[in-house]
Amino acid sequence: MPQIKIYKQDYISTPAGRVWKAFSHNPFALVGLWGVGFLLVLALLAPFIAPYGANEQNQQVLLLPPSWDPAGHVEYFLGTDDLGRDIFSRILHGVQMTFGMSLVIVSCALFFGFIIGAISGMMRGLKSSILGHLLDALLSIPSLLMAILVVAVIGPGLSNVFWAVGIAMVPQFIRTIHQAVHDELQKEYVTAARLDGANDLQILLYVIMPNVWEVLIIQVTMAISAAILDIAALGFLNLGAQAPSPEWGAMVAQGLDNLLLAPWTVTIPGVAILFSVLAVNLVGDGLRSAIAPIRK
Amino acid sequence: MTLFWKLTPKTLLCAAVGMLVSACGQATLPPGLVYCSEGNPESFNPQVVTSGTTIDATSHQLYSRLVNYDVEKGDITPGLATDWYISNDGLNYTFNLRHNVQFHHTDFFKPQRAFNADDVLFSFERIINKQHPYHFVSRTGYPFFQSIGFESLISSIEKVNEYQIVFKLNRKDASFLSNLATDFAIILSREYADQLLIEGEPEKIDLQPIGTGPFQLNQYVKNEFIRYTKNPQYWLGDIDIEHLVFDITPKSTSRLAKLITGDCSVSALPKAGELAIIDQHSHIKVDAKPGLNVAFWALNTQKPPLNNISVRRALAHAIDKQNILDVVYNDIAVEATGILPPTSWAYSNNLPANNYDPAKAKNLLDKAGVKDLVINLWAMPVARIYNPNALKTAELIQADLANVGVKVNIITYDWSIFTQKLVSEDYDSVLIGWNADNSDPDNFFTPLLSCSALESNNNRSKWCQKDFDHLLTLAQNTTNRADRKSYYQAAEAILSDQVPLIPIAHAEKVLLKRNNITSMQVRPYGGIAFAKIKHNAQQGNQ
Amino acid sequence: MWRYFFRRVNLFFATTLVMMAVLFYATHQFPVDESYALSGISNPSAEQLEHISDEFKLNSNSVVQFLAYVEQRFSGNMGMSINSQQPVFEELKTVLPASFELSLVAGLIALFLGVPIGVIAALSSNKFVQWSILGLTLTGYSIPVFWLGLTLSLWFGVNLGWLPISGQINLLYQIKPITGFMLIDTLLSDSSYRIPAFVDALMHLILPAITLAVLPFTLIVRITRQAMLQVMNQTYIRAAEARGLHTFTIIIKHALPNAMIPVLKSIGIMLGTFACYGIIVEVIFSWPGVGSWLVSGIYQRDYTVIQAGILSVSLLIIFLSILIEFIHTAINPMSKKELYATN
């Protein structure tokens, strides 16, 4: 339907526009958004930017401190680890693994969670309640325990992280979407649409969805930050990415051997994790406070 | 938070938590010593294992041997046997046993008699006699004894009287006494074994140990600690340490941190780089001695593609050992050309070694027509004396082999699982090593690479060659050092040519200890011993 | 109320069953022999094998097997630890209290620091205070716990040498376990060194507890702040102000109890993450609790330990979250209304 402006009137922005307006007034949230954008760019371009390969060893420069240290060298901006690998390059390569992987996991979890959650949300009665119990049980297995179970079955590796974190995350999405859809379903405007003769699918897509996406976005940002922390934690515990992978958590674990001698091998990957989780959380926080007054 | 850090000097912290104690920080610890060890023992009987972790936790703490090694002189000295004589044909060894040696008194076992010939008979019969009720109690077999062909060596063991026993051999063996002095040849209690048989729990003999050693086992909690108390009736006299605790700390960094914070007084197996940190802490001392050990990369010679000798030779030329030495060992090791370390009397430095030459390696691979080679490389997750960081070594090898177009997959498991899986699974190659149990050069050959070692699974290369075995037998049959040396040199040459394994390094044996620990000697071979240790009253550490 | 109570109990059992089913399924997927994964006895003799198959009804269909599995596990038969060949149940009994001790202390630290700071954040009109508290909590929430633990132990343990960074107590103190809580056991022990032992145990507890407390602390601060902001805008607070009550009294007596309700709820939601963090903290500080036990179980492929660890931790989380939800409903008049309205 084309918008024809007959009368001169105040432009009333769309809900999304209002959220963006509130969001962009929050400087922290904007910083977070820039951070996330930066990470996204790195995830795509890291292999081209990185000065060295992730596993390129140089025995001439073992445990070189970062460049701001008097003993450091600017060619190895963040120093090197005990095999003479450039930490800066490894961090860049790691963006794809830790941050990129979290995006992949969350998208997959969102996809399945959305389908199951929406269907179950539209359902009522016993089936819905059985599903609820099932979800409660799955939700009560923390992701780390799930990972341990997965590792016990198929052994450690980065692909298992996908399953472990993914399996632990899907129920959260199902639950959020189920709850949101369920809540909206009670409201009168849905009944109105139903009286108009809309079928379940139409109600879900055209009536309910526009009102639950905000919840979904908040859940997604929370899930991404949780996924990054989970991937890194699994890498750290040697249950996820294995050495010599440049996954950040695994890098911390590899640096552990030299914690006392070369603390930067642990500090720098840790800061990278902190930075990305913080960026995602800032965005999530900004979104939440931007959306909150609208939902009230 | 940062503000809080700055405002909290030690005194303030103590005041907060230590209202109950008058003198904060002067925590009076109970008398004893904590040793930060690197892993769980698999058993409490060294007869049934070869792992150094188990040896450390058992051999010199819980048990005694018939004869001992003198670290300084490299001589055999009396242990539970006061003296012995060898018949002229070199086949009969008669031992006179020590009187009034008591076994441990514990809650579950009250010995009625002192140590005598029955105990010796039992300890060795168990190993060699398949009909012995205790022979199959060990599920792992007796790897060390099997690998040196002990069963075929001994014709019989005869008790002459309560305090005299004769070992009759089938052939001359110059290393026999040395082997009896190893950490594996410990003496168990026959009386205890009989009691366990009656109780129907024979497997407890390896789990709830009874021996004649300086300490008796008090408590073992897997992954946490082993607690020993001193054996008040130890036959070598009073011991300085009341309690001995092995604090099981697999991570090397944690071991060092515990040493610095005072949670332990002696610590094993530091990583090479950590020695630099120790210089900053005046209360910690480093004890290092050239060790009798070798780290090597064993290639499974029974499985393609490594059954192909050119591939094995290519691999030997492809790895840069000097680089491994720099990165993994720092300066606490020497490059290995053969498996005998320079400290061994049979060592010779003019061996034809396989030098680092990637071009030659590539060439050899091309000639053999091998392309896109993928091999798996097993690496231990824990530090061992011979290799402080096998995983790092594996990563270096991975990078070296990538240069010659060989892809390496690194496989690792927790240490106890690792040793089990090595026996049961089909690996391509494994990074492992050997820490000698005595100074006899035979200890490097027969237990590792002989055909009899193949049966005991101690032959990690799964390699058995007649010529090589023959040389070892020749060397055993003579006591002439010059002859033996030439035989071992010939054996080394075969190894260098056939490449069943690629020797990497001979590491120094390093022990870290706090200043108040005195008269603790690093032994170049075998397990750690705490009986002679002295330590001054601990104070002022938390 | 009773009806609600029974519904929650019902939920507990249903969830437990689902949980057991997941575990049962996973157990059969382990890459080892079925009877080995169930019992942990390596190289069992023929009669042991028969006994295992009898216990777990291995010859029947999977439903019967599942019921037998549930029955065995809940009667305390967790099998033998593959690695130590000790009954898993006995090991579990020694590691659980240590974990409780750590989590309780961490939880208390979080609560006693978090609530006041949250209140301050809510009431302060100073932008700087607000921002710094918000920044701090957001950072605390984003920080990878393993990294935080390592950094703290590097600084306070190694560089400054103030605090021990590993284990529960210096191992030379031989403390007989009575309650399993080291702090209590040291005081209960009759040895001459009980006071130094207590101090030593306390010193060992500080760093792990602080590390573990960071996550709940930040959450509690955030939620307390939000709840306080909301409560302080309510009319009854204004009424109290109008009556001339002291601000402090209003906060303590009127606002805080109501603000605590959402805090309670968020604690329930946080339990799973808290458990994960607890496991990692235990690994870093070699705390002899269920977390490090479980993680070394997975390193050593100790399948019975893995099952028992996951089962016990998940059951605890299920139980506690249902309990918290129940308490939340019981003390919250708002949800009571909802309850009876929907029923």
The β-bridge partners of B406 are: B373
**pLDDT beneath 70: ranges in chain A:** 1-10, 125, 133, 136-137, 140, 293-296
Tell me the shortest Cα–Cα distance from A109 to chain C, in angstroms: 18
Chains with 3+ CB–CB pairs under 8 A to C are A, B
Tell me the shortest Cα–Cα distance from B327 to chain A, in angstroms: 7
**CB spacing of A140 vs C317 below 8 angstroms:** yes
Q: Is residue C217 part of a domain?
A: yes
CATH of B29-39+213-283+515-542, one of 3.40.309.10, 1.10.287.3510, 3.40.50.970, 3.40.190.10: 3.40.190.10
CB atoms within 10 A of CB B219: 12
Q: pLDDT, tens digit, for every residue of C217-275?
A: 998 998 888 888 888 888 888 888 888 888 888 888 888 888 888 888 888 888 888 99
Average pLDDT of the residues of chain C: 86
Q: What is the model's pLDDT at position A7?
A: 66
CB atoms within 10 A of CB A56: 15
Q: What is the model's pLDDT at position A270?
A: 93
Contact A179, A147 (CB under 8 A): no
The domain tally of chain C equals 1
- The DSSP code sequence of B378-436 is EE-SS--SS-S-HHHHHHHHHHHHHHTTEEEEEE---HHHHHHHHHHS--SEEEEEEE-
Scanning every residue of chain B, which has its alpha carbon at the shortest distance from the alpha carbon of C173?
B30
Chains with 3+ CB–CB pairs under 8 A to B are A, C
Residues of C in contact with B258 (CB under 8 A): 164-167
Q: Give the domain CATH number at C281.
A: 1.10.3720.10
> In which residue ranges of chain B is CATH 3.10.105.10 found?
293-508
Q: What is the model's pLDDT at position A39?
A: 93
**CB spacing of C314 vs A140 below 8 angstroms:** yes
CA distances from A174 to A121, A170, A220, A295 (A): 9, 6, 12, 21
**CB spacing of A82 vs B323 below 8 angstroms:** no
CA distances from B218 to A27, A176, B28, B108, B230 (A): 63, 54, 22, 11, 9
Q: Is residue C163 part of a domain?
A: yes
Classify B522 in phi/psi space as left (phi over 0), alpha (psi -120 to 50) or beta. beta
For residue B131, what are the contacts with CB-CB under 8 A and spacing of at least 6? none
Class of the domain covering B293-508: alpha beta
**CB spacing of A274 vs C144 below 8 angstroms:** yes
Tell me the shortest Cα–Cα distance from B393 to chain C, in angstroms: 21
Q: Is B414 on the interface with A (CB under 8 A)?
A: no
Q: What is the model's pLDDT at position C336?
A: 61
**CB spacing of B395 vs A59 below 8 angstroms:** no
**CB spacing of A256 vs B274 below 8 angstroms:** no
Examine the pLDDT at C301 and tell me if it is beyond 90.
no
Q: Which of C139, C283, C317 sits opposite A278 (nearest CB)?
A: C139
pTM assigned to the model: 0.86
CA–centroid distance for B221 within its chain: 21
Structure-block tokens of residue A192:
């109105």
> In which residue ranges of chain B is CATH 3.40.190.10 found?
29-39+213-283+515-542
More confident site: C49 or A107: A107
In whole angstroms, give the CA distance from residue C19 to residue C13. 10
Q: What is the model's pLDDT at position B540?
A: 33
Q: Is A292 on the interface with B (CB under 8 A)?
A: no
Contact B208, B108 (CB under 8 A): yes
Residues of chain A with a CB closer than 8 angstroms to some CB in chain C: 133-134, 136-145, 148-149, 151-153, 155, 225-226, 229-230, 232-233, 236-239, 249, 252, 256, 259-260, 263, 266-267, 269-270, 273-274, 277-278, 281-282, 285
Residue type at position B454: L
**pLDDT beneath 50: ranges in chain B:** 1-26, 537-542
Residues of C in contact with A282 (CB under 8 A): 138
DSSP SS3 for B288: strand
Count how many residues are written for chain A. 296
CATH of B64-208, one of 3.40.50.2300, 2.40.50.100, 3.90.1010.10, 3.90.76.10: 3.90.76.10
Instruction: Count Cβ atoms within 10 A of the Cβ of residue B6 and give its class: 0-12 exposed, 13-18 middle, 19 or more buried.
Output: exposed
Q: Is A60 on the interface with B (CB under 8 A)?
A: no
